[in-house]
Amino acid sequence: MRAIYSYGVALVIVLVIAVWLGSGLLITGGKGPGAGEKPVIGSSEAPPSPEQQKLIDEAAAKQKAADDAKAAADAAAEEANKAAAVADEADSSGKVRQEELKKEADAKQAAAKAAKAASDAAAKAATAAEAAAEAAVDAVNSFKTIAERLADRPSSEEPQARSVRIAVITAQNEPIEVPLRGRTKAKSTVSVVAQTSGIVQAISVSKGQTVKPGDLLCTLDQGARKLAVTQAQAGVDQAQTAFDANAALVKKGLAAPNTTLAVQSQLAAAKTGLENAQLELARTEIRTDVGGVVQDPMAEVGNMLGAGAPCATIVQLNPMLFVAQIPEAKMAYARLGLSAKITTVTGATADGKVTYIASTADDATRSFPVEIEVANDDGKVLNGVTADAVVNIGTAPVHVLPQSVLTLDDNGVLGIRTVEDGNKVAFHAVTIIKDTRDGVWVVGLPYKISVITVGQEYVQPGQVVDAKTDDTPIGASADGSNATASSEQPS
């Protein structure tokens, strides 16, 4: 009976432990809150948070309790087997004792089975708690970057170097060209007007005709003006005769010397009148002061022109201007005197220089007007034609890279990853100045670089890698490209 009682008490204790483990509650003490053994879970991961550590501690405690319950169950089963063996060896004279031993063995076996069941339940609870703790740690690690995980790795653990492929690229000094899109514009459009009034008697030019400075365009009625010149000439002759006669009389002493002033002033007035008459007659011939091409509006024969009325319009096409707008982001490149090449939609080309850059931006577009003056001796560049200009702003060291090596850092900055001293990864930001079929032209890199061509998305700056040189050429060499570097495409 005593044995049955003992095994019954043990069974009750095991059942209580099993219920406690199944509840998931853990009370620790003796060494302060949170003290106790901790399982080695995710040792290669980042340090767990307080909530994750609590789950890990609970899983470890439940696992230990399950192990203790399993040991108790094994001990009870061993005792039961021993009791059964003793009962089998008893002789027939001790039947009562044999029955007691069998009952005792049965009780021990029942207790062992219950303890085994409780141990299994505790083991399952411990496994579930451990899985929950691992899931919590994995959830936190999933939001961390590769660099953060590597930083959280224990220092005693050496990370395995990742294999990457690199290519060594050297910069080349190449011309940097800024493309502009605009239109051609005549340097000047001059309206040649009449300086006197009169009826148009003759037109000496036609529309589209090229004229030079001094060429006659229109002739006005000269009748009255010719008579005025003749009359003024007669007055001059008369005044000259009077002046000569007075001078002779003064010389002979027949006239007072002061009479010379009167006749001299008359002669000067007559000459001035003649000059005015001749000038008025000359104004009847309207001549151009600039060279160019005759355009509308033009006067017609018989028209009455007043002073200031146009006889013809002269468009000056040599030199020709190219006008465009420079975005405010590109104003740092703009300088007077830069050489440029103009190409019109008609196929005409011409070379020129930047002659004007506005100092005030357009309110609507926030861009700055610019003018490029080009020679147009042959007249092939027409006025008002859409054209493109390529302005050479100098040279710069550039690298030709395939687009596949470009990547973004954690802040979204465009750049490339390279391998530097000690096989460590480094990130370099780049600026694209031209995108060609041979690759992208970039600036902002050291003169010679070892760019990662394969595996750049799986490494971070500061990480040690196993770099192997890629023998396959990438892109085209800077001195062998058919394209020149440019800051942007025409738009």
Residue type, 237: D
Length of the chain equals 491
From the number of C-beta atoms within 10 Å of its C-beta (0-12, 13-18, 19+), residue 18 rates as: buried
Residue type, 183: R
pLDDT digits (tens, 9 = 90+) for 166-215: 999 888 887 878 888 999 999 888 889 888 888 888 888 888 888 889 89
pLDDT digits (tens, 9 = 90+) for 419-444: 998 789 999 999 888 788 888 888 88
Res. 155: pLDDT tops 70:
no
What Cα–Cα distance (Å) separates residue 470 from each residue in 75, 92, 413? 66, 92, 26
The overall average pLDDT reported for the chain is: 77
Percentage with pLDDT > 90 across the chain: 12
Task: State the Cα torsion 127-129-134-139 to the nearest 10°.
Answer: 140
Which tops the pLDDT comparison, 145 or 231? 231
Tokens, residue 264: 């001299």
List CB contacts of 183: < 8 A, sequence separation 6 or more: 322, 323, 324, 384, 385, 386, 387
Listed range (87-91, 240-244, 479-483) with the worst mean pLDDT: 479-483
Rounded CA gap, 237 and 22, in Å?
A: 142
Listed range (39-53, 95-109, 187-201, 363-377) with the worst mean pLDDT: 39-53
Res. 340: pLDDT tops 70:
yes
Structure confidence at residue 145 (pLDDT): 63
Structure confidence at residue 330 (pLDDT): 77
| 449 HSE (CA, 13 A, CB side) | 27
pLDDT digits (tens, 9 = 90+) for 373-406: 999 888 888 888 999 998 887 777 888 899 889 9
Structure confidence at residue 487 (pLDDT): 38
Stated pTM of the model:
0.48
Structure confidence at residue 321 (pLDDT): 93
pLDDT digits (tens, 9 = 90+) for 217-251: 998 888 788 888 888 888 888 888 888 888 888 78
Rounded CA gap, 491 and 489, in Å?
A: 6
Mean pLDDT of 99-112: 72
Structure confidence at residue 148 (pLDDT): 64
Tokens, residue 186: 């005549």
Which tops the pLDDT comparison, 488 or 126? 126
Structure confidence at residue 151 (pLDDT): 61
pLDDT digits (tens, 9 = 90+) for 249-276: 878 877 777 778 888 888 888 888 888 8
Structure confidence at residue 113 (pLDDT): 77
pLDDT band at 354 (very low <50, low <70, confident <90, very high): very high
Res. 353: pLDDT tops 90:
yes
Which tops the pLDDT comparison, 388 or 79? 388
Longest dimension (CA), the chain: 204
Structure confidence at residue 481 (pLDDT): 44
Res. 344: pLDDT tops 90:
yes
Res. 417: pLDDT tops 90:
yes
Q: Which of 427, 418, 464, 439 is nearest to 166 (CA)?
A: 418
**Do strands 172-193 and 485-486 pair parallel, antiparallel, or not at all (unpaired)?**
parallel
Structure confidence at residue 352 (pLDDT): 92
Percentage with pLDDT > 70 across the chain: 73
Mean pLDDT of 355-360: 92
**Do strands 292-295 and 172-193 pair parallel, antiparallel, or not at all (unpaired)?**
unpaired
pLDDT band at 30 (very low <50, low <70, confident <90, very high): very low
Structure confidence at residue 3 (pLDDT): 61
pLDDT band at 369 (very low <50, low <70, confident <90, very high): very high
